[in-house]
Amino acid sequence: MSTTSITGRPSRVSRSAEPGARRAAGRPRGAWSRRAPLLPALVFMIVVTQLPFVGTLVISFMRWNALDPGNRGFGGLSNYTAAFEDPTLRSSIETTALLTAAVVLVSLLLGLVLALLLDRRFRGRGIVRTMLITPFLVVPAASALLWKHAIYNASYGLLNGTLTWLWSLFGSSHAPQPDWLSTTPLLAVEASLIWQWTPFMMLILLAGLQSRPMDVVEAARVDGASTWQVFRYLTFPHLRRYLELASLLGSIYVVQNFDAVFTLTSGGLGTANLPYAVYRTFYQGHDYGQASAEGVLVVICTILLATLALRTVSSLFREESL
């Protein structure tokens, strides 16, 4: 609809403004029609993830111990102060850092070696790749039980059975039968997690290897570059972002690991990490307020790692789009 001027002629301003007004009127309806199907998923995500965290955050500022029901109320930052002053929690933080660093670095190195091997063409490569991925598909609790009983058991485990067989080759029947979970508890937990997370690192690095510009690699080989020079000057710089991404994602998951520690050692012998410390405070100490504060600290550490991972992913996508 257009307006007319005093002379009876249609106004130019109103005619030119009419299509813009129609577009402006149509934008909200189009935006709402695109976003409306996402609202149920958004509401579900908020209810499932954010509301429990808000409840945990509120409880972390309260005095709430089931063993002392009469002393319940607002405690301010007392739970956080007690968490930072607790030597057991500080020890669990150190154990978490050591466990995460060892598992991520070793699994990253092994994953790089396996990715370089699988990047070559050979008969049965698909079967080998499937077999190497299998440990990552095992349920974490089942993986820990497998290592505890089938590998580490002092009576019938694979490790002690191998020692018995090796000693029998030399005519001895007195092979050492160490209790691996008691003598090297932290190393036992690390080995089980490395076995589980190496395939994850391998998949990410293999994807990085297969995204290399092969024309540059072929040109370097034609110019006389050796295999080591190709890896050092072409492959490794190309894999830098993928190495960062794999290490950050692995750190996020290993920091939160609970199954291996709980199943293998029950947090004893210096293997209690931060998630197990939260479990012990909640279920053994029945201190819901301090356990919530410790849980918030775990979430903060995870968010920091996740932020670095998201920045790495975004920078990787930017480089791929150039």
Predicted local distance difference test score (pLDDT) of residue 264: 92
* Tokens of residue 200, six digits: 């994850």
CB atoms within 10 A of CB 48: 9
User: Does the pTM exceed 0.85?
Assistant: no
Assess contact for 100 and 278: CB atoms under 8 A.
no
Give 10's strand partners. 4
Assess contact for 196 and 134: CB atoms under 8 A.
no
Q: Which amino acid is at 31?
A: A
DSSP string, 9-51: SBPHHHHHHHHHHHHHHHHHHHHHHHHGGGHHHHHHHIIIIIH
CA torsion through residues 66, 70, 74, 79, sign = negative
* Tokens of residue 159, six digits: 């490790």
Q: Which residues of the chain have pLDDT under 50?
A: 1-8, 10-11, 13-14, 16-17, 21, 24, 26
Predicted local distance difference test score (pLDDT) of residue 1: 47
Which tens digit of pLDDT belongs to each residue from 20-64? 545 545 455 666 777 777 788 888 888 887 888 888 888 888 888
Predicted local distance difference test score (pLDDT) of residue 2: 47
Predicted local distance difference test score (pLDDT) of residue 320: 56
CB atoms within 10 A of CB 66: 11
Predicted local distance difference test score (pLDDT) of residue 6: 45
Q: Which helix (H) or strand (E) holds 74?
A: strand 73-74
